[in-house]
Protein backbone atom coordinates (compact mmCIF):
# COMPACT_ATOMS: atom_id res chain seq x y z
CA UNK A 1 0.00 0.00 0.00
CA UNK A 2 1.41 3.36 -0.95
CA UNK A 3 0.35 6.64 0.47
CA UNK A 4 0.67 9.77 -1.52
CA UNK A 5 0.16 13.39 -0.85
CA UNK A 6 -0.38 15.68 -3.81
CA UNK A 7 2.08 18.54 -3.78
CA UNK A 8 1.78 21.48 -6.12
CA UNK A 9 4.65 22.22 -8.46
CA UNK A 10 6.40 25.57 -8.54
CA UNK A 11 3.71 27.28 -10.59
CA UNK A 12 0.81 25.88 -8.58
CA UNK A 13 -1.15 24.46 -11.49
CA UNK A 14 -0.02 20.82 -11.38
CA UNK A 15 -0.14 18.35 -8.50
CA UNK A 16 2.53 15.66 -8.25
CA UNK A 17 2.08 12.51 -6.19
CA UNK A 18 4.97 11.31 -4.07
CA UNK A 19 5.09 7.56 -3.55
CA UNK A 20 6.63 6.03 -0.48
CA UNK A 21 8.48 2.77 -0.70
CA UNK A 22 7.09 0.11 1.60
CA UNK A 23 9.36 -2.57 2.94
CA UNK A 24 8.22 -6.05 3.78
CA UNK A 25 8.54 -7.16 7.37
CA UNK A 26 11.77 -9.02 8.03
CA UNK A 27 11.05 -12.77 8.35
CA UNK A 28 12.09 -14.67 11.46
CA UNK A 29 12.88 -18.38 11.67
CA UNK A 30 11.63 -20.53 14.50
CA UNK A 31 14.65 -22.64 15.49
CA UNK A 32 14.65 -25.79 17.64
CA UNK A 33 17.89 -26.49 19.52
CA UNK A 34 19.14 -29.94 20.43
CA UNK A 35 19.55 -31.07 24.02
CA UNK A 36 20.33 -34.40 25.67
CA UNK A 37 17.02 -34.76 27.53
CA UNK A 38 14.04 -33.90 25.31
CA UNK A 39 12.80 -37.05 23.60
CA UNK A 40 12.59 -37.34 19.85
CA UNK A 41 8.94 -38.35 20.18
CA UNK A 42 8.15 -35.15 22.10
CA UNK A 43 9.82 -32.98 19.43
CA UNK A 44 7.79 -34.73 16.71
CA UNK A 45 4.61 -34.23 18.75
CA UNK A 46 5.33 -30.50 19.21
CA UNK A 47 6.08 -30.02 15.50
CA UNK A 48 2.81 -31.70 14.55
CA UNK A 49 0.73 -29.90 17.18
CA UNK A 50 2.10 -26.33 17.07
CA UNK A 51 3.34 -26.15 13.47
CA UNK A 52 0.87 -28.51 11.76
CA UNK A 53 3.65 -30.63 10.26
CA UNK A 54 2.88 -34.10 9.00
CA UNK A 55 4.59 -37.01 10.73
CA UNK A 56 7.18 -37.45 7.96
CA UNK A 57 8.16 -33.77 7.84
CA UNK A 58 8.20 -33.54 11.65
CA UNK A 59 10.51 -36.56 11.78
CA UNK A 60 12.85 -35.02 9.19
CA UNK A 61 13.06 -31.75 11.15
CA UNK A 62 13.62 -33.64 14.42
CA UNK A 63 16.48 -35.63 12.83
CA UNK A 64 18.06 -32.40 11.54
CA UNK A 65 17.90 -30.96 15.06
CA UNK A 66 19.36 -34.15 16.49
CA UNK A 67 22.26 -34.44 14.01
CA UNK A 68 23.04 -30.78 13.32
CA UNK A 69 22.31 -29.34 16.74
CA UNK A 70 19.47 -27.12 15.53
CA UNK A 71 16.76 -27.06 12.90
CA UNK A 72 14.62 -24.38 11.29
CA UNK A 73 10.92 -25.14 11.54
CA UNK A 74 9.62 -22.25 9.44
CA UNK A 75 9.75 -18.53 8.71
CA UNK A 76 7.16 -16.16 10.15
CA UNK A 77 6.72 -12.51 11.02
CA UNK A 78 8.64 -11.56 14.15
CA UNK A 79 5.57 -11.48 16.41
CA UNK A 80 4.33 -14.87 15.28
CA UNK A 81 7.79 -16.48 15.50
CA UNK A 82 8.35 -15.16 19.02
CA UNK A 83 4.87 -16.20 20.13
CA UNK A 84 5.28 -19.72 18.76
CA UNK A 85 8.71 -20.07 20.40
CA UNK A 86 7.27 -18.97 23.76
CA UNK A 87 4.26 -21.27 23.46
CA UNK A 88 6.41 -24.30 22.65
CA UNK A 89 8.88 -23.61 25.46
CA UNK A 90 6.05 -23.15 27.98
CA UNK A 91 4.42 -26.39 26.82
CA UNK A 92 7.77 -28.22 26.99
CA UNK A 93 8.44 -26.92 30.50
CA UNK A 94 5.00 -28.06 31.69
CA UNK A 95 5.73 -31.46 30.14
CA UNK A 96 9.10 -31.70 31.92
CA UNK A 97 11.33 -31.13 28.88
CA UNK A 98 14.11 -28.51 28.63
CA UNK A 99 13.49 -27.92 24.90
CA UNK A 100 14.90 -24.57 23.72
CA UNK A 101 13.18 -22.79 20.84
CA UNK A 102 14.22 -19.38 19.54
CA UNK A 103 13.07 -16.83 16.97
CA UNK A 104 16.01 -15.69 14.82
CA UNK A 105 16.18 -13.23 11.90
CA UNK A 106 15.87 -15.32 8.73
CA UNK A 107 18.97 -13.78 7.18
CA UNK A 108 21.23 -14.51 10.16
CA UNK A 109 24.39 -16.46 9.34
CA UNK A 110 24.15 -20.12 10.36
CA UNK A 111 27.01 -19.76 12.86
CA UNK A 112 24.81 -17.45 14.94
CA UNK A 113 21.97 -19.97 15.28
Residue 108 pLDDT: 58
- Rounded to two decimals, what is the model's pTM? 0.75
Q: Are 32 and 101 in contact (CB under 8 A)?
A: yes
Q: Report the alpha-carbon distance of residue 113 to residue 110 in Å, rounded.
A: 5
Residue 77 pLDDT: 95
Closest CA to 36 of 87, 89, 98: 98
**Mean pLDDT of successive 10-residue segments in the chain (113 residues)?**
56 70 88 96 98 97 97 96 98 97 82 50
Give the end-to-end CA distance of the chain in Å, rounded to a whole number.
33
Q: Half-sphere exposure (CA, 13 Å, Cβ side) for 76?
A: 16
Q: Which helix (H) or strand (E) holds 35?
A: none
Domains and CATH numbers, the chain: 25-112 (3.30.1390.10)
Q: Using alpha carbons, list the distances in angstroms from residue 7 to 3, 20, 21.
A: 13, 14, 17
Amino acid sequence: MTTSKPTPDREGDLAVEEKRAIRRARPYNVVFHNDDYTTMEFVIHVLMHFFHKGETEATQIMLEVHHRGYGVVGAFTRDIAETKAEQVMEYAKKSGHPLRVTAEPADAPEEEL
